[in-house]
Amino acid sequence: MPDPRRATPRTDAVLADPRLREAVARLGPGLVKQTVGLALDRCRAGEVTPDQVADLAVDSLPAVATALRRVVNATGVVVHTNLGRAPLSSAAVAALGVAAGATDVELDLTTGHRGRRGRSAVAALAAAVPDAGGVHVVNNGAAALALTACVLAQGREIIVARGELVEIGDGFRVPELLESMGARLREVGTTNRVRLADYADAISERTAFVLKVHPSNFVISGFTSSVGIGELASLPVTLVADIGSGLLSPHPRLPDEPSAASALRAGADLVTASGDKLLGGPQCGLVLGHRGLVESLRRHPFARALRVDKLTLAALEATLTGPAPPVVSSLASSPADLLERAGVIAGELSSEVEIEALASTAAVGGGGAPGVLIDSAAVAVPAHLAEPLRLDAVQPVVGHLERGRLLLDLITVAPEDDVALVEAVRRAALSSHPPGAD
Ligand SMILES: *Cc1c(COP(=O)(O)O)cnc(C)c1O
């Protein structure tokens, strides 16, 4: 056997392969050289022969210049934070393609002069929330809240109920964010109970506003009381409502989830929300409400640091004006239809893998409708398929384990992805053996 290290080709020689030259143009030289380097390492280790190096590099190249993978969300969690929250609608994806190049995001093509940045997205948002006198878009829900606190409450007090001092996830705590903007919190009530009088007693000349935070990821039950927006609006101070999930109007399946329209109608002066939760759009934060207040936020120097890019504006506009985004379609899907799809999938795979179609329970997740169970349907497969499905080279699929089986819930799977799901399960079953079956 010749020494594999001696026979290993030079990088330049491998890169001369026409397929790799084309890949350099498509993916950039760095990524291609790195992939070729890894293939050469395997040649040096004697794992592949010199004439297999180029083939291996070509096969290992990603399709696009990102290590991010498209994942089928079969978790049954409609807004899954670790999977990037809301998947965009095809209309939003198409809008991204248009906005990616030079675009009139801040130019009025009729006059040739500077125009209001993102005016069509802002107009779409204003049209979607007619109760809001003013609207503004920032980078995310936290930014909407931070801007509000920075402009209205620096060096002053925000009155907030103790039971609404929420931690959202990954260590992000609403009270800490507000304090980091130089506001002081005036906590009222106890963990489980607060009354209108508690708020009223806390009002002083230091008060900037009363904040109502939607407890978006937990429920307190038992001996509880809280004060609704309608009652808080009777207080003689500004009222800000952080509704979190970004529902613009009430949703029949989520009766307890606050919406921007209902919060404004009940008397909130400002509403803040996320764009990539139940609204189903790109990551962004919405500030809606009293025109003068929204303008003072928009014109503040800090607003520039929270400004959204043209891609976000384009995707938001398409989400608002285009067909229902996936989050909205998921929530509208009928359990019977989902069970029928599960039956078809199970039927296709039943001779290859232990599989069962069954009714399941999905959740909104990602800071919305806590405790709400949504009727759905899934296929159950052996638990040991979880890892090969996640690691599938063609189409990673993420499900969730329940009572010793892997459930692939269909509420979050677009019907056009059923075929890819079937293929992925088939590959996973072929490539893996149940534990202890050798
Ligand atoms: C999600 C959420 C936020 C934070 O929004 P991001 O878009 O994640 O920054 C703030 N408040 C509430 C009530 C939320 O649910």
Please state the φ and ψ torsions of residue 313, each to the nearest 5 degrees: -60, -45
In 10 A of CB 191, how many CB atoms?
Answer: 11
Structure confidence by residue, pLDDT tens digits, 85-103: 999 999 999 999 999 999 9
Spell out the residues 6+ positions from residue 382 whose beta carbon is closer than 8 angstroms to its own: 353, 354, 405, 406, 434
Q: Are 202 and 162 in contact (CB under 8 A)?
A: no
Q: What is the DSSP letter of 193?
A: B
* Whether the predicted pLDDT of 2 surpasses 70: no
Q: Are 226 and 195 in contact (CB under 8 A)?
A: no
Mutate to test the pocket of ligand 1, among 80, 214, 217, 242 (most ligand atoms within 8 A of CB): 242
pTM strictly above 0.85:
yes
pLDDT of 67: 86
- Would you say the CB of residue 216 lies under 6 angstroms from ligand 1? yes
E strand or H helix at 285: strand 285-289
Q: Are 269 and 211 in contact (CB under 8 A)?
A: no
pLDDT of 435: 67
Q: Are 342 and 381 in contact (CB under 8 A)?
A: no
Q: How far apart are CA 338 and CA 360, in angstroms?
A: 10
Spell out the residues 6+ positions from residue 95 whose beta carbon is closer than 8 angstroms to its own: 314, 315, 317, 318, 322
pLDDT of 171: 84
Spell out the residues 6+ positions from residue 173 whose beta carbon is closer than 8 angstroms to its own: 165, 166, 167
Structure confidence by residue, pLDDT tens digits, 315-345: 999 999 999 999 999 999 999 999 999 999 9
Q: How far apart are CA 117 and CA 107, in angstroms?
A: 8
Ligand 1 atom index nearest CA of 368: 15
Per-residue burial over 316-329, b = 16 or more CB atoms within 10 Å of its CB, e = otherwise: bbbbbbbeebbbbe
Nearest Cα to Cα of residue 402 among 362, 348, 352, 343: 362
**3-class state of residue 234 by DSSP:** coil
Q: Which is it for the CA torsion 389, 390, 393, 395, positive or negative?
A: positive
DSSP secondary structure of 133-152: SEEEEESSHHHHHHHHHHHH
Q: How far apart are CA 89 and CA 276, in angstroms?
A: 12
Look up residue 312 and give its amino acid: T
Spell out the residues 6+ positions from residue 404 whose beta carbon is closer than 8 angstroms to its own: 383
- Would you say the CB of residue 168 lies under 6 angstroms from ligand 1? yes
Ligand 1 atom index nearest CA of 275: 7
* Whether the predicted pLDDT of 369 surpasses 90: no
Distance 173 CA to ligand 1 centre (A): 9
Q: Are 209 and 240 in contact (CB under 8 A)?
A: yes
Q: What is the mean pLDDT of residues 51-72?
A: 92
- Would you say the CB of residue 242 lies under 6 angstroms from ligand 1? yes
Structure confidence by residue, pLDDT tens digits, 124-170: 999 999 999 999 999 999 999 999 999 999 999 999 999 999 888 88
Distance 143 CA to ligand 1 centre (A): 9
The residue nearest atom 8 of ligand 1, judged by CA position, is: 141
